[in-house]
Structures are given as C-alpha cells and as structure tokens.
Amino acid sequence: MTASIQKKIEQLRLEIDKHNYHYYIENSPIISDAEYDKLFRLLQDLEKQHPEFITPESPTQRVGLIPQTEFAEAKHLIPMLSLDNAFSNEEVEQFDRRVQQRLKR
C-alpha cells in the first residue's frame, strides 16, 4: 500500500512539473488552471497524509519555476490576494473573511 502511494505521489510530481514547464517556460498551458489546481491539491493532500514522502524537490515545497528574464519585475502597492485555489463555498467564504479582516486594518 505505501509503495503505491509513493508511486502516485511521484507520478503527480512529474505531471505537475510537466505542466509547470508548459505554463512558465513555454507560456502555453496544456490544461486549465482548475485541472492543475486539482492535481496540486491531490498532491498536497497525499503529502499531508504521508509526510515521510515529502522531498525538497516537490512542487508543493517551491513556488513556480525560474522566472522568465523577458518580463520586468512588478511591485504592487497593495498586496495581491488570491482565492488560494478555493474549490468549495466554504473556502470562498474563508477567503472573503480574510479579505474583510485585512480591509479593517
């Protein structure tokens, strides 16, 4: 059972890395953001359930890939917030609460 979970984690990492390459390097994604988010969430869940399989190379342990040099760095005066891959009404409501709390500052 553990070997099959480890294999699934490794397969997900390879698949996510492939999609990261197409998205960040080729600027030509081959799946939708929602499909990517589901794969990433599945990997996060499996690693959370089996932390013994987490490695520094996992896509969950780093942000994106090396930035493209053709784009200038953009500094934002106001923090860029995201839905953090919300998949349910509850997650959207949690995001809304976080935004409301920040706006009160």
**Segment 36-52, tens digit of pLDDT:** 999 999 999 999 999 99
- Which helix or strand (DSSP H or E) is residue 3 part of? helix 2-20
Return the amino acid letter for 97.
R
Q: Which residue has the higher pLDDT, 70 or 53?
A: 53
Q: Is the pTM of this model over 0.75?
A: no
Q: Is residue 25 exposed (0-12), middle (13-18) or buried (19+ Cβ within 10 Å)? A: exposed
Return the amino acid letter for 96.
D
Specify the DSSP class assigned to residue 16.
Answer: H
91 pLDDT tier (thresholds 50, 70, 90): confident
